[in-house]
Structure formats: structure tokens, C-alpha cells
């Protein structure tokens, strides 16, 4: 099998990340990816519809520092139609089967004006989030033909560009299996495990482990509104109690796919997700949970984890910028200009030099991050404001018992 190429045409690796200029012609856009796995009916379509639809509400647009724009206008309209159907007619979207759909959104800063010199100095202008929706049926059922098997493999390769993968644990299935949750969890986790094993030989680079692969695998309770008395700690306890061995088995398979397997989190991060509160004849779309954390999880959580890995592991310098997409340029924003006023000629070298300063920025307490966020807003430095707000959002998610982050 030919050596797999990365998204920028080079061999796999995240050196420097990818710059896309498709928005407004001249905007420099950095792409982040998130992969979402879930069984049939686990709520993937409802989640992405609510994620996008809520960002089109006037209340969001009034207070937000950015607009969330669908790259594909038709796709955006369909997602918003789904959302409005829930909001106005209590009509949930029709479930999709066997549809492997990537959704691409641009986080575009509202104010692109200001000082031209400062704007030029920014390493990028906007973020693109690509949401890869992998059909749960593909892990539950065998392919019907060689062509379908190839299609599944092609789709899986595309989502390997993600830093973060989210495994949806269906809240309705947990209710259906109350008292025997291990039966459902085993089916979910072993289906994913067997699917990965089925792809393994075709995914590896000439038999070699992958450099580009999701490094953070989050277990997320979808339809969390069905469990109002369960916070994220209770969800974590339930999953670990009922499926610790199955999580370990999946972790072992993942480690066999990647280079530097020590830099891999599986079964260490948990979150709650709810696209709305569903009642008979009524869907309260304003009562969401966890969806506002998806952008921070995709952009900031991998950088946080990189800092922890670098402190705990002996990571060669050449690997630092490969473990996390766009780590170098996002680090430049979080670190700021003060620590390193020198030009660094080699891509990725900055990250190695800036790592102590990045660790300080990542580990800063709430008041310090809030101070920097406030200062960035006042200076119309909206890129710094957005990324520091993402830091604050992650911290708030932990405080509100919606998110558990690995301590490793």
C-alpha cells in the first residue's frame, strides 16, 4: 500500500499545521479537527445541529467575539433547519444511517480591523473546525461489499487528522440497560476496538505506527438531559465501574497504532453532552450542556495535554509539533510576544523554545487568564481574547462538573 500522505501533501506529521485561505480570500485559517464516534441513534446529528444552530441565535451573536460560519451554505442551512425544527415545532431531526458526513465551520473574528502591523504579526486570523461524524453502524455491521469496505477506510483516514476523538455513550441506552450497563458499554467499546483492528494493517505507514492520529479520546455521555442527577463525576464512576477492562482493551489497540504511545489519553477524560432538554411535545434548545466546550476541547485541550506530556515524558524536539495540530501557532498566541523576541527560522523550533512559557500560560490561574482576556478585549486583540476565553470555558466546565480532564 502506498505511504499515506498528510493533508498538506507531505508525509504524515503536523509540522506547522495547515493554512487555508478559502475564507474572505485573504484570511489565514488554521484547521482543527474533531472526530465523533457513536452508535446508531446516539444523537450525533442532533448534537451538531444544536452546536451550529445555537451559534446563529441573535443572543449568541450579540455577545460572542466570533461568528460561526458553515463552509457549505447548504449544509449550514440544513443544520439550522434541524435546530429550528426542534425549537419551534419540537421536531427532532430524522436519524441518519451510514452517512459519514464531515461538517466544516469557520470561527471568524468579528473585528478584523485595528492595527495593520499587529494584524500582520498574528500567526493566523481564524480557525476552522472540521467535525468528522463516523457512522456507528460501520462498527456494528460488516461491509456489504469491497467498495463499501474501501469507503469506510477512506473516511477513517480522513478523521485521523483529528487531535481529539469523542466516543458518545448513549444516555438512552444506559437507561435501557439500567443495572446491566456493562452489556451496553462492552458492545460499544468492543465494536470500536474491533473496527480499529480491522483497519490496522491498511492504516499503518508501511507497517510503521502513525504519527498523525487522535491523541485524546474522550468518553462523553450524550443525551445527558435524560440523567439530570448524574454529573460528570458520576458518569465517570459508572463507566469505570462497569467497563474498566473494556476501556483498557481499547487503549491497548490505540497504543498499537501510534508512535510515542505514551502520549495518548484514553479513558482519562469525560464529559456530558446534551443538545437540548426533551419533554413530551416540547424541546428546550436553550438548555444545552457541554456543546460550548467543543471548540475549547478541540483547540486548547490538546495543547494543555502536550504540556503535561512534555513534562512527564522525554519527547524528542521533532515530535513536539507533531503531537498536536497547530501547536506552534496557537502557542504563539497564548505565550505572547514578550518571552521570545527572536526570529526562529525552523518550523516547530519555536514550540521547543517556548515550552516553559507555554506551560506557564496553560497553568495560569483563573484571575490571570481573566486579566489577559480583559486586556485583549480592550486592545481589540480578538484572537487572544477568543483563545483565552476558551481556557476560561474549559476551567468553568470542570467547575460545573460537565468535564473531567486527565491529570496525567
How confident is the prediction along the chain (408 residues), in pLDDT tens digits per residue? Answer: 333 333 333 333 343 445 444 444 567 888 999 999 988 888 889 999 999 999 999 999 998 999 999 999 999 999 999 999 999 999 988 776 656 788 999 999 886 555 666 667 777 888 999 999 887 777 677 777 888 788 888 888 888 889 999 999 999 999 999 999 999 999 999 989 988 888 888 888 788 898 889 999 999 999 999 999 999 999 999 999 999 999 999 999 999 999 999 999 999 999 999 999 988 888 999 999 999 999 999 999 999 999 999 888 888 877 777 788 888 888 888 887 555 444 444 445 667 777 888 888 898 889 999 999 999 999 888 899 999 999 999 999 999 999 999 987
Assigned domain for 113 exists:
yes
Q: Quick one: cell of 76?
A: 449550514
Please tell me the total count of domains within the chain.
1
Assigned domain for 264 exists:
yes
Assigned domain for 408 exists:
no
Q: What is the pLDDT of residue 294?
A: 96
Phi first, then psi: what are they for 383, rounded to 5°?
-70, -45
Question: Which alpha helices (H) appear in 55-121, and where do they start and end?
Answer: 58-63, 73-89, 116-121
Evaluated on CA atoms 200, 202, 204, 208, the torsion sign reads positive
Q: How far apart are CA 401 and CA 272, in angstroms?
A: 9
Quickly list DSSP for 75-86.
Answer: HHHHHHHHHHHH
Q: How far apart are CA 30 and CA 79, in angstroms?
A: 23
Cβ contact 49:86 at 8 Å: yes
Q: What is the pLDDT of residue 368?
A: 93
Task: Specify the residue for cell string 441518519.
Answer: 96
Assigned domain for 324 exists:
no
Assigned domain for 2 exists:
no
Q: What is the pLDDT of residue 98?
A: 57
Phi first, then psi: what are they for 187, rounded to 5°?
-60, -45
Assigned domain for 37 exists:
yes
The predicted model scores a pTM of 0.89
Q: What is the pLDDT of residue 350?
A: 66
Q: How far apart are CA 406 and CA 399, in angstroms?
A: 14
Assigned domain for 373 exists:
no
Range of the domain at 127: 19-291
Assigned domain for 304 exists:
no
Note the pLDDT tens digit of each residue in 212-252.
899 999 999 999 999 999 999 999 999 999 999 999 999 99
Q: What is the pLDDT of residue 184?
A: 96
Q: What is the pLDDT of residue 147?
A: 83
Amino acid at each position: 500500500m502506498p505511504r499515506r500522505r498528510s493533508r498538506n501533501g507531505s508525509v504524515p506529521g503536523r509540522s506547522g499545521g495547515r493554512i487555508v485561505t478559502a475564507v474572505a480570500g485573504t484570511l489565514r485559517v488554521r484547521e482543527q479537527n474533531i472526530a465523533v464516534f457513536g452508535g446508531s441513534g446516539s444523537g450525533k446529528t442532533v448534537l451538531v445541529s444544536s452546536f451550529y444552530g445555537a451559534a446563529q441565535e441573535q443572543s449568541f451573536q450579540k455577545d460572542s467575539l466570533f461568528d460561526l460560519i458553515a463552509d457549505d451554505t447548504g449544509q449550514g442551512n440544513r443544520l439550522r433547519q434541524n435546530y429550528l425544527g426542534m425549537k419551534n415545532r419540537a421536531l427532532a431531526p430524522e436519524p441518519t444511517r451510514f452517512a459519514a458526513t464531515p461538517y466544516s465551520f469557520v470561527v471568524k473574528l468579528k473585528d478584523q480591523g485595528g492595527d495593520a502591523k499587529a494584524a500582520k504579526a498574528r500567526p493566523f486570523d481564524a480557525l476552522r473546525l472540521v467535525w468528522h461524524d463516523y457512522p456507528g453502524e460501520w462498527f456494528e455491521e460488516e461491509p456489504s461489499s469491497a467498495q463499501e469496505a474501501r469507503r469506510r477506510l477512506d473516511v477513517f483516514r480522513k478523521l485521523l487528522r483529528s487531535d481529539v476523538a469523542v466516543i458518545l455513550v448513549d444516555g438512552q441506552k444506559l437507561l435501557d440497560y439500567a443495572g446491566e450497563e456493562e452489556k451496553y458499554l462492552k458492545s460499544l467499546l468492543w465494536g470500536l476496538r474491533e473496527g480499529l483492528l480491522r483497519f490496522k494493517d491498511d492504516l499503518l505507514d508501511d507497517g510503521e505506527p502513525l504519527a498523525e492520529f487522535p491523541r485524546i479520546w474522550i468518553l462523553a455521555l450524550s443525551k445527558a438531559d435524560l440523567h439530570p442527577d448524574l454529573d460528570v463525576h458520576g458518569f465517570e464512576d459508572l463507566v469505570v465501574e462497569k467497563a474498566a477492562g473494556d476501556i483498557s482493551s481499547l487503549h491497548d489497540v490505540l497504543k498499537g497504532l501510534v508512535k510515542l504511545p505514551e502520549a495518548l489519553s484514553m479513558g482519562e477524560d469525560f464529559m456530558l453532552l446534551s443538545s437540548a432538554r426533551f419533554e413530551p411535545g416540547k424541546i428546550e434548545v436553550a438548555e444545552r450542556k457541554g456543546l460550548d466546550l467543543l471548540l475549547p476541547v478541540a483547540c486548547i485541550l490538546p495543547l494543555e495535554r502536550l504540556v503535561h506530556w512534555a513534562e512527564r515524558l522525554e519527547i524528542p524536539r521533532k515530535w513536539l509539533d507533531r503531537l498536536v495540530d497547530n501547536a506552534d501557532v496557537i502557542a504563539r498566541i497564548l505565550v505572547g510576544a514578550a518571552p521570545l523576541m527572536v526570529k526562529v527560522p525552523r518550523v516547530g523550533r519555536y514550540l521547543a523554545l517556548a515550552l516553559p512559557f507555554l506551560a506557564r500560560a496553560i497553568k495560569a490561574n483563573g484571575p490571570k487568564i481573566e486579566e489577559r482576556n480583559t486586556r485583549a478585549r480592550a486592545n481589540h486583540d480578538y484572537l487572544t481574547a477568543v483563545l483565552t476565553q476558551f481556557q476560561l470555558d474549559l476551567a468553568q466546565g470542570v467547575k460545573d462538573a460537565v468535564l473531567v480532564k486527565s491529570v496525567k
